[in-house]
Amino acid sequence: MPFKQQALLRQKLFVLGSLAIGSLLYLVARVGSLDRLQPICPIESRVASHLPEQFPLRTLQYKRGILHELRKGNATKEQIRLHNLVQQLPRAIIIGVRKGGTRALLEMLNLHPAVVKASQEIHFFDNDQNYARGMDWYREKMPFSFPHQITIEKSPAYFITEEVPERIFKMNSSIKLLIIVREPTTRAISDYTQVLEGKERKNKTYHKFEKLAIDSNTCEVNTKYKAVRTSIYTKHLERWLKYFPVEQFHIVDGDRLISDPLPELQLVERFLSLPPRISQYNLYFNATRGFYCLRFNIVFNKCLAGSKGRIHPEVDPAVVAKLRRFFHPFNQKFYQITGRTFNWL
């Protein structure tokens, strides 16, 4: 074989060998990083002192598969018994606020291997008919989980409904309560936008936001308008504080959860006494949607529904300014009570 052909052959073999070794090293690094990202260890809390010391990653993935089959209705009673699966009452509830980011928060917390979420809003404590059905009915609405996991549900109407704090207190006086808030005026406009979209789908007309938010007789902010009333966070929180100490609440910054979710999720992990398991690997920005999406593993990704992130209608700047002045003293009191300050105008 001529010398030039031998040299060319050696060069090709060298390139192929380098590619093979590089691919092998990448796979080894990837497996190692996954094991570092999602090992299971005990939940450090009063309610989970019985936990085993460690679950290997493969066991966790297998168990997630079982829970997925249960949600689809494919698991048998024998599988439920064999794997010691239970339907637990929630140990934490996202009680609000509507249009604050409750769905995003719930889905992101579900990234944690020790968290199991109720997929639908149950509306047990704010609906008299549902509440009359009793605690067994409520428990049956919860997802199956393993004893070491924490079940979380979310129903934003809980935050503003008068009867709810007492009802939840009677179920569990030590439950942990999550409240996710956004800048109050932005939240009110987002609330209006969702209702407006529903009206338009039914070919119904709806007043402009300015007409609803401002009383035409007094030219003052209309506190009878539900979207405005919901944004007076301190008024609702004071009702909850009659039953629960402030230490049982954690306030999540809904605006920051959109722009930089990981720090907010890490704060929630600590509040729930969960070992840190959610990492930047689990969150990636989707430029098309303009939101962060979720990465559970190298196979399964999930983005929130397309209805999230609706474009808000243009609102008269004078009305926006008037609302922000109105909310300002309530915001200051909210900061004082919760010990958390936000950069709200």
17 is in an annotated binding site: no
Is 94 known to sit in a ligand binding site?
A: no
Half-sphere CA count of 9, side-chain side, radius 13 A: 6
298 belongs to an annotated ligand binding site: no
Choosing from 63, 99, 176, 322, the catalytic residue is: 99
Residue matched to tokens 């992101």:
108
Contact by Cβ (8 Å): 158, 102 = no
100 is in an annotated binding site: yes
**311 in a known ligand binding site:** yes
Is 103 annotated as belonging to a binding site?
A: yes
Tell me if 101 is assigned to a ligand binding site.
Answer: yes
- Letter string b/e over residues 284-320, b meaning 16 or more CB atoms within 10 A of that residue's CB: eeeeeeebbbbbeeeeeeeebeeeeeeeeeebeeebb
Extract the runs of DSSP E, i.e. beta strands, from 127-258. 144-145, 150-154, 176-181, 249-253
Q: Looking at residue 101, what DSSP letter applies?
A: S
CA neighbor of 238 nearest in space, from 328, 337, 145, 141:
337
176 is catalytic: no
Q: Flag whether 312 is marked binding.
A: yes
Residue for token pair 């907010």: 264
Q: Is 185 annotated as a binding residue?
A: no
Tokens (6 digits) for 88: 């637990």
Is 64 one of the annotated binding-site residues?
no
Which residues fall in the annotated binding site for 3'-phosphoadenylyl sulfate?
99-103, 182, 190, 292, 308-312
Which residues are known catalytic residues? Answer: 99
> What are the binding residues?
99-103, 182, 190, 292, 308-312
